[in-house]
Amino acid sequence: MKTKIASMLTMAIVMMFAVNTFGQKNQEVVKEQKIKVNFQCENGKAQIERELAKTPGVKEVIASMETKEVTIKYVDGKTTKDALVKAIEKIGYSTEFSKGAAATKPSCAKSCAGDRPKP
């Protein structure tokens, strides 16, 4: 009887360890990337947050008007910093990592007009 109880207890401990070990392998690793982006207005901020959130692997996007920095939380292995930069450029904005002719959208001048203080 004592042998059966000891055997069952050992089996239960082994199973708990195995479930815990295998469960950890499936957990997603979420990373955070901060990128300076050339946006000028609330419309640009909203567009970057909305469109970048559609990128596969992106969990959260917060753009700061004060610092012009976009903080992105994403699943490691589903996207990369370079892919995030390309996604921002595709939206129409340049970043601190942009190479070449990436620039602010021409349409931004019109949409920003309402956000600028009147002289």
The domain that contains 80 carries what CATH number?
A: 3.30.70.100
Mean pLDDT of the chain: 81
Q: What does the pLDDT read at residue 119?
A: 44
Q: How confident is the model at residue 118 (pLDDT cuts 50, 70, 90)?
A: very low
The b-or-e profile of 10-27 (16+ CB within 10 A means b, else e) is: eeeeeeeeeeeeeeeeee
The total number of structural domains that make up the chain: 1
In a domain, 16, yes or no: no
* Over residues 54-71, mean pLDDT: 96
Q: What does the pLDDT read at residue 92?
A: 92
* Over residues 29-55, mean pLDDT: 94
Q: How confident is the model at residue 33 (pLDDT cuts 50, 70, 90)?
A: very high
Q: What does the pLDDT read at residue 11?
A: 74
Residue 102's domain comprises 30-115
